[in-house]
Chain A
């Protein structure tokens, strides 16, 4: 009869579909009034000599049932978990929810690149007003009124004495006025000229640089600018210095790099010359030192300036400068 119990249990276990069925069976066999429990309770009624072997058998069966039930329970739980997880499944190929990072404006991107290079060389970063006195923008830079050099720049006027700065060079004078040498800084910023076409916008950006100390030479000017250009455009970039004219530097130089688009063989961008004008530079004119009260016999220095739009246009192959200020996000997102 006890043997039959095991068989019946196994038969019933087979029909179990879920945890509820399983719990019913558990109650039926192992509950307080369950079959196995009753058998154990009726043990005293069994003749004493059969009692030990009978008891042992019942306990064996009890253990067997418990083990089977546990096994089945964990199997069922696993299955249910599987089902639940399956029902929670997502289409992992749908796009994630995120806000794409914004893009820095290409002009400022190039500007930070330039700034980083000079800061590593020990240059600080200075600022000056964009609406500037004629004195700082022209006069103290050795560009007197009625001088043809004023034709080099088309100026926006606020009044007879106030202009929109046409270059970042006035920052040179402002910094030297308030600080004693040595000075070594760059001054990035917006500048303005009344001119508008495919290569000119009425507002654009420049970086000015100045280094003044004892014993600074033209050779040093070349050294610093070559180092900068090699960092900016690659160590094998060709660099050439040729004489030019700026009223506030002397000797003055125009700095060209080998055309980065055609490698110097001549193309539309470099107008067939193989060279691209990239920087204006020179030794600080003693006249400027006189304006700021530096002794030109004791100190010398160099200054340089460059247009950021031009560099950005070369770097990203942009052929219309006006795109920078139209702020079309289809353009801006590309950088």
Chain B
């Protein structure tokens, strides 16, 4: 809302500078967002919150200042004596629930033309374009008194008759109306929208916009001015339904002053006579639904208890004086009736806010509360998951991964690019009805598409190394069995089951240009990321996991694994759940990306944190340190090249001996001296007894039988 300072000063006597006034307005809740110099005047840009439609006018702002300065508001001249009392005009309100009051006046013999300069200037300062003297006056009064008016060309109103009603009411149920508004757009009008009709047809959309055919034009001589109170929700619904927002609808949907309506009508007639000549005729005023404010009881002690103050009764009533309230003072409370322009005041708390506002928020002391010490009950605590999340995050940061935050959106093209199968739950998409871009129409079901974008963008800037991770939610739609009608019946649309499942995911991407490095490290990238995952799991004390060759369609089939939690068996089993995957992006995906020059090997991983949390062990128990020395033996065997390490380890660990403390693989070799289709695997076994020192010959024979056992299992041979 733009407020020219010199206009404001017409209604209230202000001695303070505009700086001071702007500050005072801001501090009572009318934030002056900007002060603009216009010629010799200044214009305030006031941010009026939706609860204060009464401040959407110069007079409204003046009223607020009046309450603050305790100086009266001077109303502009508006008393008109009708020069002819006769009015052969009929108004019917068919829907009194939607139109509480309807008034109008006829002004005859007007000279339509340009507005005088003072009028044009003021409208301009408020960013309203001058059209002609009649329309300009209606806009002027709108700005001045906050009440929207509409002027019709009288001769276009058929049958000297106005009906206020919905198409349903006026034309019967289900009537579809097409109507051309002032902006010469033909609009379809919902059957429950309130319209203004003449004897034959609709002539305006109540509170939103007038019609093309009854518009005031250069040839207009006589006009009918409408000033009415339309019900806010109805105006808002209509404005939304037809997608048309105007200065009028903006005010009506927030609530106008039903008592100001007559003043506004007279003020407009008065000004029209001033700027366009003419004769003011009598008026019509139909007021079927009177404004009857409820009495609000305000307890003095409640005011102080809420605000943390010790105001006296006098101080409280002083604050409220000047706000236009009708006040009755009782011993312990006040009985208050708010004026018609303050429909936002309905309850005690609304009055308490008014006291605080006028008293001044700045004068309320800042005091820390005396609080009850509370401890979260275990079932309320999600701190377990917060801790796991934080542990994971810290581990990744220390492993050199930088955190990213991507938008939660993705597009169908992303899921298609990844080749996600039809029955995969990642296709249970949550769709946004009004996305900003079609490629952002869905909530993510996997974090990988965002990482592919991060990769492309960062490579284009010449980065040689990329380690990124993100912890964010994915959204899996639940295909609800309940029909939407049932859901409504169940619990007023509040059914939790209609919400998607939100799961916390971790994803990371790794890429490193190998050729330019000071120190060579030829560990395949896959193992670097697999190592990070293992380190994270071990740090969370999760030991029951396994990596199984992955079938994710977007990963390199030879360099990818699914991560299973719950069992160490190197196969998917009933005891384990898939918690994620790790692997190189498939060559097909890499080829489709907009990456110039080379196509690097890129490793991605994604883990469902919610799936691994139950396996994270929180309890730590000490085990005594071994007291006797160990004996180690190394052995290399030659086996089929397709034998996976996990299988070998599984067999080694299945050998029944409690003297085996640890086994690990320290070398895998293919090439010279090893037959085609075979590989050599070397492993180290550490033996130890908990109650004695082992003897070499004892271990020699134990190790020999272990090796025999494993050669039998693997159908391998000892490497010589």
Interface 1/0 per residue, A288-324 and B, CB below 8 Å: 0000000000001000000000000000000000001
Tell me if B643 is interfacial: C-beta within 8 Å of chain A: no
Q: Which residues of B contact A196 (CB under 8 A)?
A: 436
Tell me if B295 is interfacial: C-beta within 8 Å of chain A: no
Tell me if B362 is interfacial: C-beta within 8 Å of chain A: yes
Q: Which chain B residues (460-518) contact chain A, with CB distance < 8 Å?
A: 461, 463, 466-469, 472-473, 475, 492-494, 496, 498-500, 502, 518
Q: Which residues of B contact A160 (CB under 8 A)?
A: 493
Tell me if A69 is interfacial: C-beta within 8 Å of chain B: no
Residue in B361, B371, B372 whose beta carbon sits within 8 Å of that of A243 in the complex: B361
Tell me if B399 is interfacial: C-beta within 8 Å of chain A: yes
Tell me if A74 is interfacial: C-beta within 8 Å of chain B: no
Q: Which residues of B contact A148 (CB under 8 A)?
A: 50, 232, 236, 253-254
Tell me if A164 is interfacial: C-beta within 8 Å of chain B: yes
Q: Which chain A residues (229-244) contact chain B, with CB distance < 8 Å?
A: 239-244
Q: Which residues of A contact B361 (CB under 8 A)?
A: 222, 241-243, 251, 253
CB distance from A167 to the nearest CB of B (A): 15
Across the A-B interface, the 7 shortest Cβ-Cβ residue pairs: A219-B308, A217-B308, A243-B29, A245-B49, A99-B400, A222-B366, A220-B369
Q: Which residues of A contact B458 (CB under 8 A)?
A: 327-329
Question: In the complex, which residue of chain B has the Cβ closest to the Cβ of A149?
Answer: B50
Complex CA distance for A133 and B434, rounded to whole angstroms: 16
Q: Which residues of B contact A39 (CB under 8 A)?
A: none
Q: Which chain B residues (543-596) contact chain A, with CB distance < 8 Å?
A: none
Residues A132 and B499 in contact in the complex (CB < 8 Å), given A101-B400, A245-B29, A330-B461: yes
Q: Which residues of B contact A300 (CB under 8 A)?
A: 305-306
Q: Say yes or no: A222 contacts B364, CB within 8 Å.
A: yes
Tell me if A213 is interfacial: C-beta within 8 Å of chain B: yes
Q: Say yes or no: A325 contacts B382, CB within 8 Å.
A: no
CB distance from B507 to the nearest CB of A (A): 12
Q: Say yes or no: A250 contacts B350, CB within 8 Å.
A: yes
Q: Which residues of A contact B29 (CB under 8 A)?
A: 242-245
Complex CA distance for A271 and B34, rounded to whole angstroms: 8
Q: Which of A8-16, A59-67, A79-87, A119-127 contacts B (4 or more CB under 8 A)?
A: A119-127
Number of interface residues of B (CB under 8 A): 93
Q: Say yes or no: A240 contacts B367, CB within 8 Å.
A: no
Q: Which residues of B contact A250 (CB under 8 A)?
A: 349-350, 352-353
CB distance from B646 to the nearest CB of A (A): 27
Complex CA distance for A308 and B364, rounded to whole angstroms: 27
Known: A133-B496, A146-B233. 10 other contacts (CB 8 A): A108-B405, A131-B499, A133-B493, A149-B50, A244-B49, A251-B352, A283-B306, A300-B306, A327-B454, A329-B463
Tell me if B613 is interfacial: C-beta within 8 Å of chain A: no
User: Which of B29, B253, B305 is packed against the most chain A CB atoms within 10 Å?
Assistant: B29
Q: Say yes or no: A157 contacts B401, CB within 8 Å.
A: no
Residue in A201, A239, A328 whose beta carbon sits within 8 Å of that of B457 in the complex: A328
Q: Which residues of A contact B52 (CB under 8 A)?
A: 245
Count of CB-CB pairs between chains A and B under 8 Å:
244
CB distance from B208 to the nearest CB of A (A): 14
Tell me if B347 is interfacial: C-beta within 8 Å of chain A: yes
Residue in A162, A183, A194, A247 whose beta carbon sits within 8 Å of that of B436 in the complex: A194
Q: Which residues of B contact A223 (CB under 8 A)?
A: 366-369
Tell me if B205 is interfacial: C-beta within 8 Å of chain A: no
Q: Say yes or no: A134 contacts B368, CB within 8 Å.
A: no
Q: Say yes or no: A131 contacts B369, CB within 8 Å.
A: no
Tell me if B671 is interfacial: C-beta within 8 Å of chain A: no
Q: Which residues of A contact B404 (CB under 8 A)?
A: 105, 327, 332
Q: Which residues of A contact B457 (CB under 8 A)?
A: 326-328
Residues A243 and B357 in contact in the complex (CB < 8 Å), given A102-B399, A159-B433, A218-B306: yes
Tell me if A104 is interfacial: C-beta within 8 Å of chain B: yes
Q: Say yes or no: B347 contacts A286, CB within 8 Å.
A: yes
Complex CA distance for A325 and B401, rounded to whole angstroms: 17
Q: Which residues of B contact A122 (CB under 8 A)?
A: 371, 373-374
Tell me if A333 is interfacial: C-beta within 8 Å of chain B: yes
Tell me if B237 is interfacial: C-beta within 8 Å of chain A: yes
Question: In the complex, which residue of chain B has the Cβ closest to the Cβ of A124?
Answer: B376
Tell me if B408 is interfacial: C-beta within 8 Å of chain A: yes
Tell me if A88 is interfacial: C-beta within 8 Å of chain B: no
CB distance from A288 to the nearest CB of B (A): 11
Q: Say yes or no: A217 contacts B307, CB within 8 Å.
A: yes
Complex CA distance for A179 and B254, rounded to whole angstroms: 35
Residues A129 and B502 in contact in the complex (CB < 8 Å), given A157-B432, A184-B371: yes
Interface 1/0 per residue, B380-418 and A, CB below 8 Å: 101100100000010011111111111111000000000
Q: Say yes or no: A329 contacts B407, CB within 8 Å.
A: no
Tell me if A48 is interfacial: C-beta within 8 Å of chain B: no
Tell me if A1 is interfacial: C-beta within 8 Å of chain B: no
Q: Say yes or no: B305 contacts A215, CB within 8 Å.
A: yes
30 CB < 8 A contacts A-B: A97-B518, A99-B399, A102-B467, A102-B469, A104-B403, A105-B405, A108-B403, A122-B374, A125-B383, A125-B386, A126-B382, A130-B475, A131-B475, A131-B499, A132-B499, A146-B237, A147-B50, A157-B433, A184-B374, A211-B371, A220-B367, A222-B365, A242-B27, A243-B357, A250-B350, A251-B307, A251-B357, A300-B305, A324-B405, A330-B461
